[in-house]
Amino acid sequence: MIELSRVQDLRQQVTAWKQAGLRVGFVPTMGNLHAGHLSLIDLASQKADRVISSVFVNPLQFGEGEDYERYPRTLEADKAKLSSVKCDALFAPSVAEMYAQGQTQTQVLAAPNLSKIWEGASRPGHFDGVATIVAKLFNLVQPDVAIFGQKDYQQWCVLNQMVADLNWPIELIKAPIQRDLDGLALSSRNQFLNQTQRKIAPRLYLELQQIAHAITSDERVDFNVLLQAAKQNLLDQGFDQVDYIAIVDPLSLQALKQRQDTMTILAVARLGSTRLLDNIELDLR
């Protein structure tokens, strides 16, 4: 695996691959890699001749009071994991390399209709920071295909819209959520859970499954009653807070009041200071 930290070196490597007629796949990450990340690399290797992964903890997407400084940085371990799969190059720049002036004067405005609700309401400016860094990375890597995980479902929608709006010739692929044996969606933030919280955490996915079952089995189920009950169930089972739990249109992310052919159930709940994200996609066709 080639290790790169400078923009100039990354561009030279990508140019060489492109000139050789090779298809380039890209998996951007913030590091602290786990099996979920590695599954994205495996998928990228099936779709491309060469795979680049980036490790960069992007300060632009962290709001005031969020865990930017606390976010785990495990670059040496990440290198070992990437070397064990079909990753051809790692791009791990410094903040100064990506933001030469300390910040970027030009930023990408994420589609407001997708970015101001749900996570965007809880974390103002978050998706603008995500869109900006992904746009920068796309410009550097020039990927033919890029892989993102379904766990960050709203992020996927925002980035998919950005690629469409800006006419980038990039195939975006949404990879399935990778889960632990008890159903908890894999996340770098899971390591912040204590033993008691870790036992409670899988109940978020179980609650989503129960909502999905209720929708599937009852055409006239009242979404509002269903969601209120789910929120109370999570609190009763030990969650400290439910930021939101919603049944939405999978493209617009607007809340639904009744069944339709395709739906996505989104949820974020907190255990202590740790926010757990999860979702389920439903297709009734």
Report which secondary-structure segment, H or E, holds 89. strand 89-91
DSSP string spanning 200-212? HTTHHHHHHHHHH
Taking the C-alpha atoms of residue 274 and residue 187, their distance in angstroms, rounded to an integer, is 11
Beta-strand runs (E) in 10-77: 24-29, 50-55
DSSP string spanning 101-168? TSS-SS-----HHHHSSTHHHHSTTHHHHHHHHHHHHHHHH--SEEEEETTSHHHHHHHHHHHHHTT-
Choosing from 34, 37, 126, 213, which is the catalytic residue? 37
Contacts 24+ apart (CB under 8 A), 245-249: 245/207, 245/211, 245/269, 246/118, 247/211, 247/215, 247/223, 248/118
Nearest of 189, 179, 172, 165 to residue 70 by alpha carbon: 189
Q: What are the distances in angstroms from CA 118 to CA 18, 56, 80, 109?
A: 39, 24, 35, 17
Judge whether 37 counts as a catalytic residue.
yes
Which of the residues are catalytic? 37
